[in-house]
Amino acid sequence: MTQQHALKDQTLQPHEVQTILLIASRILSYPEAIDEMVETISESIDEQIDDPELKKELTRATQPLFVLPARDLRELYVNTFDLKSKLGLYLTAHEFGDSPKRGAALIKLQKIVNQTGFEREGEELADYIPMLLELLAVAPELREDTRLYRRLAVAMQFMIDNIAMENPYGEILRVLTRHIFPEPTEEDIKEIEFNREEADLEELPFPMMYQ
- On whether residue 206 sits in a domain, the answer given is no
Give pLDDT, residue 188.
75
User: DSSP secondary structure string, 95-118?
Assistant: HHTT-THHHHHHHHHHHHHHHHT-
If you count them, how many residues does the chain have? Answer: 211
- On whether residue 186 sits in a domain, the answer given is yes
- pLDDT for 120 beyond 90: no
Average pLDDT over residues 22-28: 98
- On whether residue 40 sits in a domain, the answer given is yes
**Contacting residues for 211 by C-beta, under 8 A, at least 6 apart:** none
What is the per-residue pLDDT across 145-162, written as a single tens digit (0 to 9) for each? Answer: 677 888 899 999 999 999
Residue among 108, 181, 115, 116 at smallest CA distance from 146: 181
- On whether residue 19 sits in a domain, the answer given is yes
What is the per-residue pLDDT across 79-112, written as a single tens digit (0 to 9) for each? Answer: 999 877 789 999 998 888 878 888 999 999 999 8
- On whether residue 154 sits in a domain, the answer given is yes
pTM: 0.85
State the chain's mean pLDDT as an integer.
85
- On whether residue 209 sits in a domain, the answer given is no
User: How far is Cα 100 from Cα 157, in angstroms, rounded to an integer?
Assistant: 24
Show the domain range for 122. 3-201
For residues 3 and 92, which has the higher predicted lDDT (pLDDT)? Answer: 92
- On whether residue 211 sits in a domain, the answer given is no
Identify the CATH number of the domain in which residue 49 sits. Answer: 1.10.3480
How many domains does the structure of the chain reveal? 1
- On whether residue 194 sits in a domain, the answer given is yes
